[in-house]
Structure 1
Amino acid sequence: MQRIYLDYNASTPIAPEVAEAMKPFLTDYYGNPSTSHWAGKPARQAFEKARQQVANLLGCEPDEIIFTSGGSESNNHALKGVFFALKEKGSHIITTQIEHPAIINPCKFLEKLGAKVTYVGVDRYGQVSPTDIEQAITHETILISVMHANNEVGTIQPIADIAKIAKKYGVLLHTDAAQSVGKIPTRVDELGVDLLSVAGHKVYAPKGIGALYIKRGTQLEPFVHGAGHEGGRRAGTENILLAVGLGKACELAAEHLNDAKIKDLRDYFWDELKKHFKEDIVLNGHPEECIPNTVSVSFIGKVGQDILENIPELAASTGSACHSGMVQLSSVLRAMEVEEHVGKGTIRFSLGRYTTKEEIDQVVRRLKESV
């Protein structure tokens, strides 16, 4: 069996078109974009073009986009920026139990500084209830942060419904859209969010680049203090090379949004798994409201890590960690109240732009042998 990559939710390869767009900025355009001479102007033009490309995908204005080092920085900037900007108004933040560590850990840090954080639970599909979010709001609530799509099981959250609630109470809403950008529509006007995080390496751009959408008028303390880069919102000389890559990746993502190929392959994969494993396999996450590339399944009574170790050619992720012979379920599976004998056999397969039907058939065959 050839090497097969089904871990696109962890990281995507750099698209050839993205690599091609970046090449001139490795050799020819080296000027500082903050300068006004001949060397700086092309860099500035490329940087602003990239900002426009990101804005086009999100359906916002270019000046509402700042570039960051990735999804984690974008999330940290949103959470800490709101807390420090609005702490005189209140210190309460609402999030969910299934967020990425780039949300959970900043919240834990802010709790040390006096923030009060409510971690709302989810149902068995990994979906949060807007009613539960509303019931958690207090007069001190300044921010709600709910991921758009879960990285482990793929469940899509009802962000637009939560946005209506946030607006009703005058609370800012942030969504970590690292797993949804490029897979499903993420127009900020349709979602109704004030802040949205993008991670480049989830959308066929390089690692080390991301973006944060900041709705006009939103108060946010800068995450990095220094000179007045990014309209004074993020100090540091701009990374033109990687920004150009993210811009091109977002342009490509817009072109691929209506392509049903990945969803069709995902559905075929799940049908094949059901056919061969029958009652010995279950699907994790929402059966319908799920990003179109993700299949999180549990092989009942098995250990996901053991299965993958028997198929070294396959790149995929487990839903549990094994330490000293003990299997520990992820926080997402625990929040979904997945039983241990089921959850420990979890494997997340995430498909991408370059996945083929032949690869899926090979994986199914090897899984039958391994399990």
Structure 2
Amino acid sequence: MAVKEGFARAYRTILDSNLTTLIAVSLLFLVGSGPVKGFAVTIGIGLLTSLFTAVTLTQLLTEWQIRGRERQPLVLPGVAWLDRLSARVPNVMRGRRVGLTLSAVLSLAAVLLYVQPGLKYGVDFTGGTLVEVQAPGVAADDLRQVLPGQAGVQESEGEGHYLVRLPVAQEPTVAAEQMEALKASVRDLSAEAEFPRTEMVGPKVSGDFSDISILAVLLAGAGVLGYLWWRFESHFALAATLTIALDLTKTIGFFVLAGVEFNLTAVAALLALIGYSVNDKVVVFDRVREQLRLTPDKPLLDVLNESIAATLTRTVFTSVTTLLALLPMALAGGAAVVSFAQPLLFGVIVGTSSSVFIAAPLLYWLARRRARRGLAQLQPTAEEVRQRLAQMP
């Protein structure tokens, strides 16, 4: 019965958390291009597969595991200190003012960093030519001396590995000539030089990429907001959306401080962060909604603390496994994925902490504002409406 009840109660949370992300990636598929559209397809397939396994395969495997031992205690291994912390119901909401203030300060600092010195935009947004150069034994200063003055040379991972950027050329033939001249200059320094990656983007295409990327992020946020507004209440949706906006601004600040190139792969990282962050917050909010229906007279601070404690183990396990999957990519993935893995690694940490320290306090203040207006925290369910109608004379 515990297994059946557990999966039955988790079904709504699984559906909400996956559908919010699926709505976002569906919008990205419609308006995105290049890596953004590829990202949307990959995440969409993964979400549908995960949704199927979560509601069918996982339950089936669990039932097989307990078959023949239905009346025996089921011991679930866990992390002792984390289980004790969840059982004690930590008063996380006591630090709500500190958490919100610190988050606002960090987000404001990130906005200032975005203004000055600003992001280091890649060829996707500025236009031009990007060439990945592998020239063993060639120093960066030597490479800068033989290349045109307007060429930018960036050292990448490993000795003799560089990213060279050339400004945008108005004519394709000029860009091709620049490319050949660059390769010839590098081969004069090292006959073993290789060029694993070459990207050429015109100014019009780069402008289209910028517009599409901004539209993709806005549509993703709007889709998540609309779904949460429908499934929960307006203050739940607003709290989640504001928290995600704070997560995104901090991640933009990371791009500036770390000097990571902002390109279409970076946009995919921001979109992945939206999906991950909203998934985490829906799990907490779903438990808050459940507690409010079971104990409507309990103080809201107690409900929020208990909901955070009840989902703490899940939040930590999900974050740790995600970090373990991203860490090898961030450390050894190379220049092709650094704009995705490193910011997302930072974003997972920020998104996890904001689910506990930012989203819940925002929900608390919005809920108090709603209560002062004389509105209920939750709309009545269909069953509650039927019961009230049956009691009417």
Question: TM-score, length-normalised on structure 1?
Answer: 0.26
Counting strand residues as a fraction of each chain, which structure ranks higher?
Answer: 1
Counting helix residues as a fraction of each chain, which structure ranks higher?
Answer: 2
Question: TM-score, length-normalised on structure 2?
Answer: 0.25
Q: Which has the larger radius of gyration?
A: 2
